[in-house]
Amino acid sequence: MNQSIDVRNFFSIFGVVCIVLGCIGSIVLAFAMGTDIHGERNGMLTLVVFLVGACASLFWGFLCFAIVQALDCLEGINYNLKKTSDNTQSIGEADQLEKDLSSGKRWKCPECGKIYMSYETSCMVCGISKPR
Ligand SMILES: [Zn+2]
């Protein structure tokens, strides 16, 4: 549980860092590379370098966010599955106990309420005999 939260935090931070550093890096790269061989600024080239860099960093950033979302979903599904199976099990057990009590397979101590199998003849807690 804690581990998956750590992984989510890691990817969230990594995603933000990707986008922020990627955008800053793209600007720096665009200014460094956006000149022609004469050293004059080429507006179009600057823009293209910046956009490519920004898109790449946004892609990786959002990929990280997508992983975080996926982990959230998986955890939610696991939690729901576990909850459903727990409920089913406890309902099944309660039903079974009710059946066993009415069929005489098990009996309930009238004094303390403890459940015994039919072959047990007295309550181990109160010492009273199995009621007939
Ligand atoms: Zn008892």
Tokens linked to 12 = 């969230």
Residue 130 Cα, ligand 1 centroid: separation in angstroms?
9
Number of other residues whose CB lies within 10 A of the CB of residue 95: 10
Strand runs labelled E in 1-132 = 106-108, 115-117
Backbone phi, psi, residue 5, to 5°: -70, -40
CA 129–ligand 1 middle distance (angstroms): 9
Domain locations along the chain: 2-100
Q: Which residues crowd ion ligand 1, with CB under 5 Å?
A: 109, 111-112, 123, 125-126
More confident residue, 6 or 60: 60
Residues 56-77 pLDDT 10s: 999 999 998 898 888 888 888 8
pLDDT of residue 5: 66
Q: Which two tokens stand for residue 80?
A: 């729901």
* Phi-psi label, residue 93: left if phi above 0, alpha if psi -120 to 50, beta otherwise: alpha
pTM: 0.52
